Each structure stands twice: as C-alpha cells, then as structure tokens.
C-alpha cells in the first residue's frame, strides 16, 4: 500500500487570491454550462411537444375530412 505524502506549499497572498479566483471562475463556468444544458434540454422538449401537437392536429384534420367524404358519399347514395 503506497502512502501519499502531502506537500505544504507556502503561497503568497497574491498567489492564494489568484488560486481562489481561478476556482471561482471554474465553478461559475460549470454552473453556466449546467444552466445552458438545462435550457437546451427544455427547448428540445418544447419542440417535441409542439411536433406531437402538430401531428395530432394533422390527424384530426384528416379524420374530419374522411368523415365529411363518407357523409357526402352516403348522401349521394341516398339521393339515387
């Protein structure tokens, strides 16, 4: 079993500040990436929902047209 040794570094105040700022920037970038991904996923879900709604409207329209044709054909048959 290998033991890890820790090395204590003596950073200057400026170095510590720089490291903290870099860490904060990295965290902000991660948060921004997560927010952007969530937004993109929401947009894709909305598009899929719109597509499904459009498909349903299309099918209802076709069914209504078919029903109207059948009614017209039935009326024509009754007329003769």
Residue 42 domain-assigned (yes or no): yes
Residue 13 domain-assigned (yes or no): no
| Helix and strand counts by DSSP (H, E) for the chain | 1, 0
Number of domains composing the chain: 1
Residue 76 domain-assigned (yes or no): yes
Residues 6+ apart with CB under 8 A from 11: 19
Query: Where in the sequence is the domain holding 76, given as residue range(s)?
Result: 31-80
pLDDT by residue for the chain (80 residues), tens digit each?
Answer: 566 777 667 889 999 999 999 999 999 999 999 999 999 999 999 999 999 999 999 999 999 999 999 999 999 988 87
Residue 43 domain-assigned (yes or no): yes
pLDDT at residue 11, as a whole number: 87
Residue 10 domain-assigned (yes or no): no
Whole-prediction pTM: 0.58
pLDDT at residue 7, as a whole number: 66
CA distances from 63 to 12, 39, 52, 71 (A): 76, 36, 16, 12
């Amino acid at each position: 079993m290998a033991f890890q040794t820790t090395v204590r570094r003596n950073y200057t105040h400026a170095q510590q500040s720089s490291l903290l700022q870099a860490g904060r920037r990295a965290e902000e970038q991660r948060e921004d990436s997560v927010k952007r991904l969530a937004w993109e996923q929401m947009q894709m879900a909305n598009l899929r929902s719109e597509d499904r709604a459009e498909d349903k409207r299309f099918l209802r329209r076709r069914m209504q047209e078919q029903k109207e044709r059948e009614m017209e054909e039935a009326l024509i048959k009754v007329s003769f």
